[in-house]
Structure 1
Amino acid sequence: MTTGIAEIERAMERLSLDQLQRLVTSAQTALDKREADALVEGRVQGAPACPHCLNEKAMRWGATRGGLQRWRCGSCAKTFTKATGTALAHVRKRSEMAIVAQDMVSAKPSACRALAGRLGVDKMTVWRWRLRMLEAVRGYGHDALAGLVEADETFFRESRKGSREWARHADDPQQYPEPPRPRWRDYERHGLKLPRGLSRWQIPVLVLRDRHGATAAERLQALRYRYFETALDGSLAGDAVLCSDGAAVYRRYGRARSRRVEQVNTKAGIRVRDGVFHIQNANAFHARFQDFMRPFRGPATKNIALYTGWMVYRDARQARGPAEDPRNPLMARLLAAG
């Protein structure tokens, strides 16, 4: 093998620039595929348990299937690979999916259309892969925030991206009812007055962040006490002290749960009280979250919870350093979930 590599290296010296670029592309494609397959094969050391009957006696069975070793169960006689039963079970282009996963944890994730053009697949394929990754980080965050925990909400405009309700109503207004609002682009086109302030068209996301950097974020169905109560109960440790703005909902929660709540009157221009009570860490997270969401141009509201988990995961990963993660952390989470 060493001799073969040496021959390849000598042959490279005779290649033109275009030929070298083609070789680099081919080598990178092969490397991506090998790394994706190695990640799957390394999911379980040795013979895996049968995903069909959970029997632990399996034997190697014939050649590889799509680059993965096939196994046969000694009990039910069914064959499988180490990807069977995971989110990668029926993915034929694992190397391309691995590139999408790596892009999602990069400094600036690409749009689905741009990734599809780069990988030579359909944009909807990239979108479906991305949804699988987002499901792997849905609800990511801490559920026992301790110490002084800052709480504040950020808002995203309601979006029905992908909806056909306006087109259907225009085609057949008798069968399809009029949508509850104009399309956002129609406000500018037709000179309509945009709704001001908070309304049902502003989707709230509650962000909780303690002074150690641990974060929890959750989309709220509405700005009502019962939704705040559920989110706060699921994220705060028993001894946590809540720090918020002057909203009455936090005072009500403190009384109901006998929890200490320290509030800062931000509307009066007070940013820090007693030198320690503020919500600046939560607001800084809001700014990063809004910047992260801006290139996606308003993802559908039904997917806000997925993007929230994605943002919290990325933020936590950046804080602890990517060196602590495996080679492809999102692919690893998909396999672990399986």
Structure 2
Amino acid sequence: MEVAMEDVLTQLTRQFLPQMTAAEKSRALRSLKALIDAELFELAASEGAEDDPDRACPWCGSPHYVKRGRDGRGRQRFLCRGCARTFTDATMRIFSTTKLDRSAWMRFAECHVDMLPLRESAEKCGVCLKTAFFMRHRLLEAMAKRMPAFRVEAGGGAELDECFFRESFKGNRSRSESGMPRKPRTRSQGTDGHEKICVLTGINDAGDIFYEIAGRGGLDEAAARELLADKLAVGAIISTDRAHVYRRVLPALGVGAHIASKREEHAINRVNSLHSQMRHFIGRFRGVSTRRLENYLAWFKWTWCFKVRRSADELAELIVRQAARGTYEKTWRQYKVTPYPFYEYWIKQAKWDSRARRAIYGVA
């Protein structure tokens, strides 16, 4: 009778484990788990790579290429017809320059699915906190590029509304380059409307969602027109609250019907539910820095799109597969100096405060 290979491995493990001491068992199981994680990583990263329809030359972006043997590691090599340079599926990819073991990345993907804190993820993966932070945002950068597009066609319906997040300078210290533009505040203190970040959100009849960071304070008419222009087709049916900005922008975009309802009519409950889930998701991280908000919103959309009817193991493999085919743009140094969005407000405030102090006290 033919015996499956996995059954043989299970039998051998059960045969030799009882003969070991507790310390030997611990070392053996850790080694076995690291080997399994590394193999799972390689399987997930290579799955479908040969038939990837989005493959293009990483040097010039040309989709015209031919096979040209294999490299020293046995990976398929390609020759670009555009720039005549060779590349593989790992060239300029997220994992091509990493010095971490593949098993560490697989464990981090599992921690990422469970949304574990960075310190706990760093401990499980055997890396420092700074490395765990960089790994998280590298994965988020790759995940953000795999999102389905949002579109409302003619005759289709969607609900639009704004969601507001308090501006946060989390992680910013006096020794950082930008410094704190205001005094620290506790969560119980109120926040001025101009110190809230507006996120324009929407959900269509198919359940697809979108988010766009629109600006500081209330939704601006110019920002709304720019952000909605490529999302709403002529003839779409849009439901919103009674904000004046929608009454001016939506007819100009050619929507078929605009249904503006009062809050107590509960006509846009789906987008309000989306806001509730979004705030709950962001709240799990005990505050997200405003300059990192877009990455975490992308994480939320990823869970919305891909988490349905998938196990934790399948989600971890999906993250690795998407990240393995994704390219990165930001380096560690660029993450450190990421500017805060809409910082001009604080520059103007500082200038106004200095003029006020001179006018009142005669000093700078």
Equivalent of residue 230 in structure 2, options 228, 234, 258: 234
Question: Aligned AA for 2:136?
Answer: R
1:184 aligns with 2:185: yes
SS where residue 86 of structure 1 aligns?
coil
SS where residue 91 of structure 1 aligns?
coil
- Structure 1 partner of 2:106: 98
- Structure 2 partner of 1:257: 253
Distance 1:38 1:181 in 2: 49
Question: Aligned AA for 1:321?
Answer: R
Distance 2:168 2:180 in 1: 13
Distance 1:322 1:182 in 2: 44
Question: Aligned AA for 2:90?
Answer: A
1:216 aligns with 2:221: no
TM-score, scaled relative to structure 1 = 0.77
* Per-residue deviation, residues 89-145 of structure 1 (Å, max 9, x unmatched): 111323212222233333xx0111110011110111111111111112337353213
Equivalent of residue 265 in structure 2, options 245, 261, 270: 270
Shift of 1:3: 6.8
- Structure 2 partner of 1:309: 298
Shift of 1:254: 2.2
Distance 1:310 1:7 in 2: 41
Pair 1:59–1:287, CA change in 2 (3 A):
same
Pair 1:328–1:4, CA change in 2 (3 A):
closer
Shift of 1:57: 4.5
Equivalent of residue 131 in structure 2, options 104, 125, 136: 125
1:36 aligns with 2:41: yes
Pair 1:239–1:99, CA change in 2 (3 A):
farther
- Structure 2 partner of 1:172: none
SS where residue 230 of structure 1 aligns?
helix
1:85 aligns with 2:82: no
Distance 2:25 2:127 in 1: 24
Identity %: 25
- Structure 1 partner of 2:360: none
Distance 2:280 2:49 in 1: 38
Distance 1:229 1:78 in 2: 42
SS where residue 91 of structure 2 aligns?
coil
- Structure 2 partner of 1:112: 118
- Structure 2 partner of 1:275: none
- Structure 1 partner of 2:166: 157
Contact 2:240–2:260 under 8 Å retained in 1: yes
Higher alpha-carbon deviation: 231-240 or 13-22: 13-22
- Structure 2 partner of 1:25: 30
Q: Cα RMSD between the aligned structures?
A: 3.5
Query: Which stretches in structure 1 are left out of the alignment for 5+ residues?
Result: 170-175, 272-277
Question: Aligned AA for 2:194?
Answer: R
Contact 1:144–1:235 under 8 Å retained in 2: yes
SS where residue 121 of structure 1 aligns?
coil
Contact 1:144–1:237 under 8 Å retained in 2: yes
TM-score, scaled relative to structure 2 = 0.72
Higher alpha-carbon deviation: 89-98 or 285-294: 89-98
Pair 1:9–1:49, CA change in 2 (3 A):
farther
Shift of 1:249: 0.8
Pair 1:79–1:20, CA change in 2 (3 A):
farther
- Structure 2 partner of 1:274: none
- Structure 1 partner of 2:143: 137
